[in-house]
Chains A and B, each alone.
Chain A
Amino acid sequence: MDKVFSEYSRKGNSAKFEVIAMSCRRPEHQAPPEIFYDETEARKYTTNSRMIDIQVQMSERALELLGLPDDKLCLVADLGCGSGLSGEVIEEQGHMWIGVDISPAMLNIAREREVEGDLILGDLGEGLCFRAGVFDGAISVSALQWLCNADKNDHKPHIADERKKSSNMSSDQSKRDNNGSYLTLLSDSPMLIFQARGARAVFQFYPENSAQIELITAQSMKAGFSGGLVVDYPHSSKAKKFFLVLMTGGPQQLPKALGDAETAEVAKAKFTTKREKMRGLRQGKSVKGSKSWIMQKKERRRLQGKEVKADSKYSARKRPGHF
């Protein structure tokens, strides 16, 4: 599910994202999740090593953002657990989990793989089927975007015009009205993690466009959360990952995103002529091929989340000439 669905450009410091290209490869547009993830698709998902890698990486990052205490065993809800890939990461960190998913095929595979957590077939869009205040935290990997579509007759697409109307509603009312399915999930989560003050819920998701991001953050703020969006590697179109971090219990510092630095501006092609090169030098830019240039380039690629060799005293050292 790590297709680059849409590209965003960053506008100044306002951190607003604007869609410049959209692809029709988003699986949530093809069918509702319980239909899309049938036997073959679920099998594919769980045997594809690339998908597994990405899922595991994102689950690890989500758990990191969740910030559970290391020394205490916690109970984590995995919303949209699928075949239990993210659950296994929770197990590795020594916590317990209970997973909810809407695809029976995915859950059967999770059961086959003998994951430790217990599994429940449930619709996140209908609200969570848990008693209040039992979990220490919740994670959700690549599930939230599935809830932004109106798949059933009683789902009303939650469009911008309706937002005003729903903002006057209490979360309880909107649950009954089933007004935009993910809204129910977001207004339910504080109950879920109510027990531990300062507990968090982390949702990794693939937003479709800036309106969807705004809608999701607005709904979660309305439901009484603090928190916000953490965007890892915002300058890379491939490694960019969106994490919605919701927190209860007073204002807290939002965790820092990876690879976000103001210096990570994409450089243009430079120094084609000597004159431009000299002008660049005067402006304090480094010469192409020089040590400082190489160091800058490595830094830039690091910020994009790419694999870069560690710096050492040999980095960018001139090689002896062969002839």
Chain B
Amino acid sequence: MKLVTHNMLSSKCLKGVVKGFPLKIHAVEVKTHEVEFNKEQVIRLIPKLEWPALCEAAESLGELSGLPPDVGPDFEGDEDFLKKAHHILFEVDVVNGELECPETGHKFPVRNGIPNMLADQKDHSADS
């Protein structure tokens, strides 16, 4: 699971959860692998992101590495910032671990890079 996906995920699918965002990450295994830098992609994505949640997630993985706490108004021209954002969004991959719902504390396992957002706690990793 890339952090860009984590930034979109919410535990709204659980009963009684209103916002369910951001999910806390308890990572066991994190991999980084290089992904081609696409400037337009990052520029288009940044307005959609909840930036503080991304920073929080990055920090919990120890990947914050100089990411500013706020997005500047003229981020589009800031190549250095965009590269950093690209790294944290696309190149950091949570392979194994858990996501925790901030409201109910319900835990969603992450296996093989795929978060299991099913509400009933059946761990499908055994049969896959």
Chain A: residues with CB nearer than 8 A to chain B? 34, 38-39, 72-75, 96, 98, 100, 102, 104-105, 107-108, 111, 118-123, 126-131, 134, 176, 195
For A75, A108, A118, A129, which residue has the most chain B Cβ atoms within 10 angstroms?
A129
B128 touches A105 (CB 8 A): yes
Contact between chains at B48 and A75 (CB < 8 Å): yes
- Cβ-defined contact, B48 with A111, below 8 A: no
User: Which chain B residue shows the least CB distance to A125?
Assistant: B13
Q: Which residue of B lies closest to A107 (CB)?
A: B114
Q: Which of A39, A129, A134 contacts B48 (CB 8 A)?
A: A134
Query: Chain B 114-128 against A: per-residue CB contact (8 Å), 1 yes, 0 no?
Result: 111111000011011
B104 within 8 A of A: no
Which residues of B line the A interface, CB within 8 A?
A: 1-2, 4-5, 7-13, 15-16, 20-21, 38, 40-41, 44-45, 48, 50, 112-119, 124-125, 127-128
Of all chain B residues, which has the CB nearest A73? B44
Shortest beta-carbon contacts, A-B, top 6: A118-B5, A122-B117, A104-B124, A129-B117, A104-B128, A121-B116
CB-based contact B12/A129 at 8 Å = yes
Q: Which of A72, A104, A134 lies at the interface centre, i.e. has the most chain B CB atoms within 10 A of its CB? A: A104
Pair A96/B115 contact, Cβ less than 8 Å? no
A108 to B112, CA, bound (A): 8
Q: A108-B128, A111-B112, A131-B9 are in contact. Are A118 and B1 (CB under 8 A)?
A: yes
- Contact of A96 (CB < 8 Å), options: B16, B41, B50: B41
Contact between B124 and A121, CB atoms less than 8 A apart = yes
User: Complex formed: what's the CA distance from A210 to B125 in Å?
Assistant: 39
The CA-CA distance from A300 to B112 in the complex, in Å, is 50
Q: Within the complex, what minimum Cβ distance (angstroms) separates B43 from chain A?
A: 9
A123: chain B residues at CB < 8 Å are: 13, 117-119
Please, how many angstroms separate the alpha-carbon atoms of A39 and B124 in the complex? 12
**Which residue from chain A places its CB closest to the CB of B2 in the assembled complex?**
A118
Are B112 and A134 in contact, CB atoms less than 8 angstroms apart? no
Tell me the minimal C-beta distance from B1 to chain A in angstroms.
6
Interfacial chain B residues near A75, Cβ < 8 Å: 44-45, 48
Using known A-B contacts A108-B128, A128-B13, A131-B21, determine if residue A121 contacts B117 with beta carbons closer than 8 Å. yes
Q: What would be 13 A-B contacts, judged by CB atoms less than 8 Å apart? A: A34-B124, A73-B41, A104-B127, A118-B5, A119-B114, A120-B9, A120-B115, A122-B118, A126-B118, A129-B11, A129-B13, A129-B117, A176-B15
Decide if A134 touches B8 in the complex (CB within 8 Å): yes
Contact, CB under 8 Å: A120 / B117: yes
Q: Point out the residues of chain A lying under 8 angstroms from B38, CB to CB.
A: 73
CB of B124 to closest CB in A, whole Å: 4
B114 lies within 8 A of A111 (CB): yes
Distance in Å: Cβ of B56 to nearest Cβ of chain A? 14
A71 (CB) vs chain B CBs: closest residue? B40
Q: Which residue of B lies closest to A191 (CB)?
A: B12
Report chain B residues within 8 Å CB of A176: 15-16
Min Cβ gap B31→A in Å is 13
Please, which residues of chain A bring their CB within 8 A of the CB of B117? 100, 120-123, 129
Report the minimal beta-carbon distance from B15 to chain A, rounded to whole angstroms. 6
Q: Is the CB of B13 within 8 A of A120?
A: no
Tell me if A98 and B44 are in contact (CB < 8 A).
Answer: no
Give the docked Cα–Cα distance between A23 and B118 (Å). 31
Complexed CA–CA distance, A118 and B50 (Å):
18
Additional pairs, 14, CB under 8 Å, beyond known A120-B9, A134-B8: A73-B44, A74-B44, A104-B125, A104-B127, A118-B2, A121-B114, A123-B13, A123-B119, A126-B13, A126-B118, A129-B13, A131-B7, A131-B10, A176-B15
